[in-house]
Amino acid sequence: MSTSSSIRVRFAPSPTGMFHVGGARSALFNWAMAAQSGGTLVLRIEDTDASRNSPEWTEGIIRALAWLGMDGGQYEGPYFQSANADKHAAAAATLREQGRAYYCDCAREDVTARTGDQHRGYDGHCRDRGLGPGPGRALRFRTPDEGQTVVVDLLRGKPTFENAALEDFVIARADGSVTFLLANAVDDMSQGITHVVRGEEHLSNAPKQQLLWEALGGAAPVWAHVPVIVNEKRQKLSKRRDKVALEDYRAEGYLAEAMRNYLMLLGWAPSDDREILPWDVMVAEFRIEDVNTSPAFFDVKKLRAINGDYIRMLPVEKFVAECLPFLEAAPFEVDMAVFNELAPLAQTRVALLSEIVPMVDFAFLPEPDFDEQSWTKAMKEPAADILAAAEDAYRDAPWNAEELKNRLEAVGAERGLKLGKTQAPVRVAVTGRTVGLPLFESLEILGRERTLERMAAARAKLTS
């Protein structure tokens, strides 16, 4: 790949739904190329299909890209394809005037009746009929009868397409609106796009678009068709079947830095098997030619692990700030002074920011929200005896985590129990769960009075 500053790449999503993680991955690959070369990433919203587009989806795309951090000198836009309608229509007219396009009034069923095959492409029936514009007449591009179209692809070499096998495809519908193929080519040319990096599902369109570029007097871009993203069953990620919306992951508590890092690993790997890298290092190392052409597995467990690593790398003040939206949505009032004490403990435990509320709720609820399975597991004999002994041991204890641990260890030792077995009923009595923050630090923050009250209440519940 050239590293000339003249490189201009584009990300051109259609606003027809929530922003797909596959689209985000393509945007990041483009952004990395632009940042690395000193070039430009153009954001172009392909909004010409009014029946499917929504301003809500457009705003979602722009917000999602901003969340991922796309801005700065390499970023241009957003532009809207609908603003170029006059250019698209002019290009269609030029192609017809040059004899590179013709009008066709064939319906799909007409083609099937002539060919006997409903899956066969258009048979060129109207090529030489000399039809003019009129109701029900679409404009088709006249593909060459002979020769080949070679697509130079940075990942796939030089896929070669026989021109004779390419049908005369529609570039303008009967209502005059142009199709994706022509609009894309016109916009890429007018915006000076030099490299087109997109999903491999578009590879079959590349020879058609390249022919359009050439017919309109432009030099074809350099292509790079990146691999599809698949789920654990190796099926292509689907909006109907899989969680694919970037907004959903953000709402669940994934950090932008972690999501950006993970998406860059879908098809590409930095040297030395490293997985967690700062963005500037990724930009320096990324080479689109090194992207693997095999399908990339979207591993949610791995994404979650990487997110946990990023959470633990945050300064605690930043962690608190990232938790605020989740705390503000909690069904109880959070004392931020208390949360600031709990935050360093919670930061080592959560993999998603959304896990923060159930992790710390015990400190803010009037009484624990008992998990039934945790209660059943921990509150077996001799739970009541352990709680009674712990109450006695804690009444006059210096209230710090180390002493609280030592005293509970002594309670267990008197009964021939290890600390893990001894602390289980205490943890559930105080927090409502068997798993959570470090117990003794949590008790220190909760305070003597509330700790003893909760142990007494749990013991009463056991013996009633």
Q: How far is the C-alpha of 11 from the C-alpha of 8, rounded, in Å?
A: 10
Tell me which residue of 1, 79, 65, 92 sits closest to 39, measured CA to CA: 1
Distance of CA 31 to the CA centre of its chain: 15
Environment class of 110 (CB within 10 Å of its CB; exposed 0-12, middle 13-18, buried 19+): middle
- Secondary structure percentages of the chain, helix, strand, coil, to 5: 50, 10, 40
- Helices 419-431 + 401-414 axis angle, to 10: 120
Phi (first) and psi of residue 45, to 5 degrees: -85, 120
Q: How far is the C-alpha of 442 from the C-alpha of 430, rounded, in Å?
A: 9
Q: Confirm whether 301 is a catalytic residue.
A: no
Q: What kind and span of H or E run contains 195?
A: strand 195-199
Cis peptide before 144 (omega within 30 of 0): no
| Interstrand relation of 170-172 and 138-141 (parallel, antiparallel or unpaired) | antiparallel
| Cβ 74 vs Cβ 31: under 8 Å | yes
Which of 158, 233, 236, 239 does the annotation list as catalytic?
A: 239
Return the ∠ at Cα 38 (arms to 35 and 44), rounded to 5°. Answer: 65
* 462: its two tokens: 């056991």
Return the ∠ at Cα 87 (arms to 86 and 90), rounded to 5°. Answer: 85
Tell me which residue of 373, 362, 423, 359 sits closest to 393, measured CA to CA: 423
| Interstrand relation of 229-230 and 296-297 (parallel, antiparallel or unpaired) | parallel
Taking the alpha carbons of 87, 91, 94, 96 in that order, is the dihedral positive or negative? Answer: negative
Q: How far is the C-alpha of 325 from the C-alpha of 448, rounded, in Å?
A: 30
Identify residue 79 by its one-letter amino acid code: Y
Can you give the C-alpha Rg of the chain in angstroms?
31
Tell me which residue of 166, 158, 153 sits closest to 215, measured CA to CA: 166
Return the ∠ at Cα 452 (arms to 450 and 458), rounded to 5°. Answer: 100
Could you give the residue numbers annotated as active site? 239
